[in-house]
Amino acid sequence: MEKTLDLKFNYTDKKDTRSGFGDGLLEIGRKNPNVVGLCADLIGSLKMGAFQKEFPERFFQTGIAEANMMGIAAGLSISGKIPFTGTFANFSTGRVYDQIRQSIAYSEKNVKICASHAGLTLGEDGATHQILEDLGMMKMLPNMTVINPCDYNQTKAATMAIAEHEGPVYLRFGRPVWPIFTPADQKFEIGKAWKMIDGKDVTIFATGHLVWEAVIAEAMLREEGISAEVINIHTIKPLDEEAILESVAKTGCAVSAEEHQYNGGLGDSIAQTLIRNNPAPLEYVGVDDSFGESGTPTQLLEKYGLNADNIVKAAKKALARK
């Protein structure tokens, strides 16, 4: 399907977003000696091996003790270090929420919580590891910045950008190989949405892996004479409300697309923004109050409706409500 559509963005390679994190961590580690890494027994899965090899004195293997890792990270930040913690998204949030709330968010510690294998695209490991609630959990914490980049290049850029940001950050990325379609030399601006494709009939707000699906959906809609605007919301919090309101004022309706529960995700944040400022039809593409299951990433995205076809359906439904 991708080859026959006139896509506004194309790709020549695919790579997992977690590798963008690993490469970004190594690069920023070379530039900033205060950057340190901590991992809960998942160095290979988090792609932190290169950083560990080059900076062994700045790397801490905490073992399968995620709560302890968060406490250590908080302590390191007090001494001026910039800790990057690494484990699966499920263990980075659900398992250690108390430690994050009490030891990091409450006192605004400069800790970067880096979470791989998020969402359904974790794949075969199944529901126990496929956290779909993490964005909601983390955005509710005062002082927490929440970022969900879309491909390898954007994840690398985001990893380097958060080292320069003072305060706690939750950085979410994934396991599967995914199209690389954003520029390698991009400047990542925390809290600034990126309008990737201009349109006038409906806005598609997408985050993470579903940005690529939104690019495909835009081409599918264009073939039917529907002009869709595609906006990459890589920063869930602070949300770029100005960009959201400006776009919906033009198009009059919108779709949110995310690899997350409806409840608490990007769609909820957009809905709150619209309700307070300019109510407009909004359709959600996400997981509808359900746990995941085992399967390949493609199988799961299709079964749970997180793909271009369902973004197109949602866009048409939103248009009908205008």
Pull the structure tokens for residue 66.
């995620």
Closest CA to 218 of 189, 273, 190, 181: 181
* φ and ψ of 146, to 5 deg: -125, 125
3-state helix, strand, coil in the chain (%, to 5): 40, 20, 40
Pairing relation of β-strands 145-147 and 235-237? antiparallel
- Does a cis peptide bond (omega within 30 degrees of 0) precede residue 238? yes
Active site residue 133: no
b/e for 12-21, b at 16 or more Cβ within 10 A? eeebbbbbbb
Q: Annotated catalytic residue: which of 2, 54, 57, 66?
A: 66
Q: How far apart are CA 315 and CA 254, in angstroms?
A: 7
Active site (catalytic) residues: 66
